[in-house]
Amino acid sequence: MKIPLYQVDAFTNRPFAGNPAAICPLEKWLPDKTMQSIAAENNLSETAFYVRDGAGFDLRWFTPAVEVDLCGHATLAAACVIQEIRRETTDSRVVFRTRSGELAVERDGDLYALDFPSRPAQSCVVHPGLVDALGAPPKTVLAARDYLCVFESEEQVTALAPNMTKLAEMDRFAVIVTAPGRDCDFVSRFFAPSKGVPEDPVTGSAHCTLIPYWAEQLGKTKLFARQRSRRGGEVWCELRGERVRIAGHAARYMEGVIEFQ
C-alpha cells in the first residue's frame, strides 16, 4: 500500500517553527486502526486524512493516541496541501466535512483563515489536582472542552513546567494556559498529555476558547496572538458572533510516500 504524505508547518511562515502536521490524501477511508497506527508512527501532534467527496472534502484528525473532534493546525495544513501543493481546486475556499460539522478555510493573501465554532469558557468545578499539576496557581480557571487557566503575565506562562503525569489525570480533554502578551494581545500554551500530546506547539482549536475570552477582556473582536511553545507560532484572530476566524501562515516542509504491506 502506498499513501502520499505531506508535512506542513502551520501558523508560521518558515520551516522548523509552528506546528507540524502530517497530511495524507486518500481515495477512500482506511480502517480506523490503520489510520491510528500511521498517526502513532508519524508521532506528530496530529495526522490528518482527507477524502474528496464531490466539491468538498471529508477530513479526520488523529493524535498519536486518539482521534479528535477538532484540530486547527492540521486543517490549515490540509488546505495548504489541497490548494497550493496538489492544486485539487482553484477556489480560494476549501470546505471540509468533519466531526465538528462543516469547516471552511479561505486564502487571504499569504494567510489561511479557518472558520471555526466559538467555544466560550464557563465557570466550572476545578479538578483538585490542577494547580499542583501546573506547578503554579492561575488567577482564574474556566472551562469549555479544555480547562482555561488565566495567569497575570506572559512570564508566568512561559516559566510553567507542568508535571505531565499529573496533568494527564485531569478530567478535561486538555489544559490551556494564557496571559496578556507583551508584544501581542495574548499568549498561550496547550497541554494534552492524556491524548498523546504533552505540549502542542500551536493549537488552532484552543483559540475557539481563547478568542471569545480575550475579546471580552480586551473589548475588541480582532486580536493577534502568540503561542509560547518552544517552536512558537503566530495567530491572527477574530470573534464573529458564534464563530471565530483563526488565521495563520503555512510552510511546506516534506513530501513523501508511506509504503507498507
- Which of 159, 168, 221, 225 has its CA nearest to residue 191? 168
Q: Where are the alpha helices (DSSP H) in the chain?
A: 32-42, 73-80, 130-134, 154-159, 164-167, 207-218
With vertex at residue 201, the alpha carbon angle to CA 43 and CA 248, rounded to the nearest 5 degrees, is 115
SS3 2: strand
Q: Residues 105, 81: contact at Cβ < 8 Å? A: no
CA dihedral defined by 126, 132, 133, 134, rounded to 10 degrees? Answer: 90
- Catalytic residue (choose from 27, 41, 46, 154): 46
Alpha carbon distances (Å) from 135 to 37, 55, 131, 162, 204: 33, 48, 6, 6, 25
User: Residue 149's beta-bridge partner residues?
Assistant: 141, 177
User: Residue 107's beta-bridge partner residues?
Assistant: 112
* 255 classed as catalytic: no
Which residues belong to the active site? 46
